[in-house]
Structure 1
Amino acid sequence: MIFLIVIVVLISTLDLGTAGRDWVTTEEFENYITPEDMREFIKWCQRNDALETNEIGGGGDVNYAVFDETTALPVPDTVDCFGLGLLTRALPLDMQPGTSDDVNTHFYFSSRRNPARVQVFPGSQFGLEWVDFKPERKTVMIVHGFMSHSNASWVLDMTRAFLEWHDVNVIVVDWSRGGNTWKYWRAVANTRRVGSDITGFMKQLMAATGARVKDFHFVGHSLGAHIASYVSYHIGKVARITGLDPAQPCFQTSNRVERLDDTDADFVDVIHTNGRLLHRIGFGLPDPIGHADFYPNGGMQQPGCKQNNSSLWQRLLPVARLQQAICNHGRSYLLFTESLINSNCSFRAHQWNLTYEGVNASLIAACRRFSSCSVMGINAVGDARETRANGAYFVLTTERNPYCPTEAERRHPTPDLLKDLRRGFRIDRSAKDIPTPTPAYADPDVQEIPTTTAKNWFWRLVSNLG
C-alpha cells in the first residue's frame, strides 16, 4: 500500500506525458490497485500489530441500509472489493459506501437549444423549469470514472459531440466527491451509492416527464461503465449502454449485477483499450462482456501511448508503465467521441477470434454486408447502411486524432503492433505455446517465439520490462 501511495505522489508531481500532451491529469488516473499491493498492506499491518476491526463490525450476512427519501435502492453496508469474504470486515480499510450527502451525486442537463449545462436536483428540489428536456427525444447519460469529474475535458467534448451528432437530451453525472480518492476500494464502494442515487433520480425523471426507459443510452468510462449497468438493471433495461474500457480491479467477478454485461441493456457495446492482467497494469476488463466488444489494436496497448525513450531506471519503476496504462485507458473515450463528430472517419471493425494468430486473418477477410465487419463507435448499433455489431472485433487505429487509418493501413498492421500483441498474449493470457505465424504477419521477431519450456524468474522479469 505504501507502494501505491508512492505511485500517487509520483503521478501528481512528475511531468508525465500522454499521447498528444505533455502532462497527466487526475481525471486520467483511473482504477489502479493490485493484489500485490493488497498483500503488502496486510503484511505491513500484521508487522505493526495494527490489524483491527473497522466500525462495520463482525461477520454474518451483509445487512442493507434502510430506504430514505433520497435513496432508491438498498446499499450494502460494506463492499468486498478484493474477494476476501469475511476477512473484508476485519481489515482496517473503509469499504463502506458513503451516504448520499457524502457522495453528493450531481446531475447536469444540456441540449442543442440550451447547451449551457444546468444542474437539476433530485428529491424535493427536483424541477425542470430551467432546462430544455424533451421526453420525446433520445436521452444520453454520461458517467465518469475514478478520480475524474463532470468538467473533465473528455466529458465536455463528448457532451458537445453528442449535441452536434443529434438532437438529444444529455445528462452528465458527477460523483467526484465519491471517486476522487487514492483509495480505489473506497471509490468502488461508493459506486453502489452512486448507482442507487442515479436510479432514484432517473425514476423521478421518468415519472415527472413520461420519458421512456427504451429512449435512454448510457455511456460510462471505467467505473462509470459499471455504474451505468447497475442503474439500467434497476430501472428496467435501457436501450443501449456503451462501456468505455470498463474497470477491471474489483470487477473480475461472476456477479453480473455488480458489473457490466450483455444482460444490462438491449444493446451493450464495449471498447477495450487497456485490457491487460493486473501484473501488467491493466485498468480495463480484457474479456468480452457485451453484445459487441471492440478491441482497438488488440485492446491492450494503444499507438502513441508507449514510451520508447525511457531510461532503464524508469523502466524498473512502475511510473512509466502506469503512465502508459493511463493513456491507453483514456483512449476509449477519445475514440468514441471521434465517432460522433467525424463522418469521414469510419472505425472499421473486423470480426476476431481473440487470438494473436487470428489478427491477420480478420484484417484480410473481405467485409461482406451482414457478415464479418461492422463499425466501432456510435454506429455500432446498426442502421440502414451498417449491420448491428455482434461478437468480438479487431480495429486498427492511429496514434493521433482523428485516429482513423488509411485504407492501406487498415489491411496491414505494423510490425511494432504485432510484436506488442504477441508479447501481450504470451504474458497476459498465459499462452505457453504460440504457433509460428505465417509470413503474412510480417512479424519482426518470429525467432523469439517461446517454446513450452518455462523461463526462469530472471528472464521472465526481463521480458516483463519490454
Structure 2
Amino acid sequence: MKMSTSIVFVIAFIASVVSGLPSSPHDEVTRWSAGPRYQYTSSPEGSELVDSWLTAADLLLAARYNPAQDNNYHLFTRQNPSVSQPIPYGADSLLKASNFDPQKKTVFLVHGWKNTPLSLFNVQMVHAYVAAEDVNLIMVDWSIGAAGTYMSSLLNVPRSAEHVATYIEWLNSASGASLHNYHIVGHSLGG
C-alpha cells in the first residue's frame, strides 16, 4: 500500500509539472514586448516578419548553442587583411605564431542576427578598419548562435557576450595586451 501511495504522488507531481508546460512548441511562453506579436525586423535578406513572443521552440533552439564550442575568433591585421588567422580560445601557441601585436589597438567586431563571417557587414568593416588604422581586428563569429529565430538568437546574446569576455581575459593574459587598447564594435544583436 505504501508503494502505491508513493507512485501516485510521483505521477501527480509529474502531471502538475507537465501541465504548466506549453502543449505545442509554438505556444507562447512569455511576451517580451507589449507591442504586436509579429513585427518586421531587418536581416541580411532584408526585412523579415518575426515572432516577438518567446515560445518553447525558441527555448529549445537556444539551448543547443554552446558559445565555448561554437564561437570562432578570426584575426585580421595589415599583414593579413583579407585572409583571417583563426585563434581559438586557449590556443597560446597559435596566438604567439599569429600577427597579433599586443602594443596595437584591438578591435572586436561582433556581427548581428543571421550574419556570418562572409556577410557584407563583416567584409566591409574588416576592410575599412584595416585600411584606416593599423589594428588587431578580431571578428567574432557567433553565427551558430545568431542563425535561429530572432527570439532564440536574442536568448543567445548574453551567453555569446560572456564567452567574448572570457576570450578577452585569456587574450590579455596570454599576450600581455592592455584593456585600454580594446574597442568592441557590434551590429544588430551583436551590439
The 3 A distance-change label for structure 1 pair 201 and 178 is same
Aligned CA distance change for structure 1 residues 129 and 212 (closer, same or farther; 3 Å): closer
Task: Tell me, yes or no, if the aligned pair for 2:67 and 2:163 is still in contact at 8 Å.
Answer: no
Select the residue among 50, 65, 74 that pairs with 1:108. Answer: 74
- Alpha-carbon distance between aligned partners in 2 of 1:31 and 1:194, rounded to the nearest angstrom: 23
Residues 153-164 of structure 1: pairs in structure 2 closer than 5 A: 153-164=120-131
Q: Is the contact between residue 67 and residue 142 of structure 2 (CA under 8 Å) also seen in structure 1? A: no
2-side partners of 1:124 and 1:166: how far apart?
Answer: 26
Q: Is the counterpart of residue 121 in structure 1 residue 138 in structure 2?
A: no
- Aligned pair count? 152
The residue that corresponds to 1:398 in the other structure is none
Code of the aligned partner of 2:179: V
SS, match of residue 142 in structure 1 = strand
Question: Deviations 1:20-79 (Å, cap 9, x if unpaired)?
Answer: xxxx9x6344785355xx4xxxxxxxxxxxxxxxxxxxxxxxxxxxxxxxxxxxxxxxxx
Alignment check: 8 A CA contact 1:142 1:220 kept: yes
Task: Specify the alignment match of 2:189 in structure 1.
Answer: 223
Give the conservation status (yes or no) of the 8 Å contact 2:111–2:121.
no
Q: Which amino acid aligns with 1:149?
A: T
Counterparts of 1:283-298 in structure 2, within 5 Å, are none
Q: Taking structure 1 as reference, are residues 146 and 126 closer, same or farther at Cα in structure 2, changes over 3 Å only?
A: farther
CA distance in 2 between partners of 1:219 and 1:113 (Å): 21
Match of 1:93 among 40, 57, 61: 57
Matched to 1:221, the amino acid is: H
Question: Which structure dedicates a bigger proportion of its chain to strand?
Answer: 2
Distance 1:140 1:102, change over 3 A: closer
Please state how far the C-alpha of 1:108 moved relative to its aligned partner. 0.1
Partner of 1:20: none
Please list, as runs of the form range in 1=range in 2, the aligned pairs for 1:67-216 lying within 5 A after superposition.
Answer: 91-95=55-59, 96-100=62-66, 104-115=70-81, 116-123=83-90, 127-181=94-148, 183-216=149-182
The 3 A distance-change label for structure 1 pair 178 and 146 is same
What does the per-residue CA deviation read over 1:242-298, in whole Å, with 9 as the maximum and x for residues that have no partner? xxxxxxxxxxxxxxxxxxxxxxxxxxxxxxxxxxxxxxxxxxxxxxxxxxxxxxxxx
Maintained 8 Å contact 1:98/1:193: no
Kept in 2: contact 1:120–1:126 (CA 8 A): no
State the one-letter code of the partner of 2:44.
E
Normalising by the residue count of structure 2, what TM-score does the alignment of the two structures yield?
0.68
Deviations 1:352-374 (CA, angstroms, capped at 9, x unpaired): xxxxxxxxxxxxxxxxxxxxxxx
5+ long unaligned stretches in structure 1 = 8-23, 39-81, 83-90, 226-466
Matched-pair identity in %: 26
> CA shift at 1:217, angstroms?
1.1
Give yes or no for contact 2:112–2:186 (8 Å, CA) kept in 1. yes
2:76·2:84 contact (CA, 8 Å) conserved in 1? yes
For 1:148, give the aligned amino acid: N
Contact 2:108 2:137 (8 Å CA) reproduced? yes
* Cα shift at 1:129: 3.6
**TM-score normalised according to structure 1 size:** 0.30
Q: Larger % of helix: which?
A: 2
Q: How does 1:372-391 map to 2 (within 5 A)?
A: none
Deviation at 1:180, TM superposition (A): 1.1
- What secondary structure sits across from 1:123 in the alignment? coil
CA contact (8 A) 2:107 2:183 kept: yes
Q: CA deviation at 1:196?
A: 1.7
Q: 1:136 to 1:177 in 2, by over 3 A?
A: same
In structure 2, relative to structure 1, the CA distance for the partners of 1:134 and 1:32 (3 Å cut) is: farther
**Counterpart code for 1:139:** T
Q: Shift of residue 140 of structure 1?
A: 0.9
> Counterparts of 1:210 and 1:154 in 2: how far apart (Å)?
30
Equivalent pair of 1:137/1:168 in contact (CA under 8 Å) = yes
Q: Is the 8 A contact 1:30 1:145 kept in 2?
A: no
